Amino acid sequence: MTVPIVLVQGDITRQRADALVNAANSSLLGGGGVDGAIHRAGGPEILDACRRLRASHYGKGLPTGHAVATGAGRLDARHVIHTVGPVWSATEDRSELLASCHRESLRVAAELGARTVAFPAISTGVYRWPVADAARIAIGTVREEADPALFDEVRFVLFDRAAHDVFSAELAARGAG
Ligand code: ADP
């Protein structure tokens, strides 16, 4: 058995889940894209928690491929899991780091007892990762790593129709399970 993977087109800040994953940057202090939207919608509580992380465990920032949780402020979730995707490189294979974002986010979610987790398409925005390859890595890693005893659903929230179609094709190509 594998964990059900659900695809949704829309804004991740409008989702209800135990944990929402943020495509953060290593500063943890906010940015554009998903990161900006999460801080805007979630309010200052999330940024305050991120500042505390910078002042304690993550003085140099959160390394690429790692994940850390905060509260979710005003979002309809219990936790935000911040993870830093790799910047796409045409000359260096950074796939393992993108896989690690998904694996580590799931590990943190499991530690928190979060049974439904919503991911954005990490690295496919400002970090320019080609969406089809990101879909292959994201869905492949979740299929391998998400223990069905620990999770009820893993959701990918794709901002636009094109990304939703690409993730959908990847899921269909893998079959039901
Ligand atoms: P990264 O820096 O990891 O590339 P971005 O936030 O720039 O992260 O983009 C990641 C993906 O999230 C892109 O495909 C972008 O279109 C999408 N995105 C941007 N805003 C939102 C949002 N509010 N909800 C869901 N996805 C979003």
- pLDDT tens digits for range 79-124: 999 999 999 999 999 999 999 999 999 999 999 999 999 999 999 9
Assign a CATH topology to domain 5-173: Leucine Aminopeptidase, subunit E; domain 1 (3.40.220)
User: Is the Cα dihedral 18, 24, 26, 31 positive or negative?
Assistant: negative
| Residues 6+ away with beta carbon under 8 Å from 92 | none
List the chain domain ranges.
Answer: 5-173
Q: Can you give the pTM of this predicted structure?
A: 0.98
Residue in 124, 126, 131 to alter for ligand 1 test, most ligand atoms within 8 A of Cβ = 124
Return the SS3 of 18: strand
Please give the C-alpha separations between residue 83 and each of 20, 106, 117, 166, 172, in angstroms, as whole numbers: 11, 11, 13, 22, 27
The protein residue whose alpha carbon is closest to atom 21 in ligand 1 is: 34
Q: Let me know if 35 is a catalytic residue.
A: yes
Of the residues 11, 18, 35, 93, only one is catalytic, namely 35
Residue 175 in this model has a pLDDT that exceeds 90: no
Q: Which amino acid is at 121?
A: A
Would you place residue 176 in the very low, low, confident or very high pLDDT band (cuts 50, 70, 90)? low
| Per-residue pLDDT tens digits for 1-37 | 899 999 999 999 999 999 999 999 999 998 999 999 9
Report the pLDDT value the prediction gives residue 177, as an integer from 0 to 100. 57
Cα–Cα distance for residue pair 109/145, rounded to 1 Å: 12
144 CA from centroid of ligand 1 (Å):
24
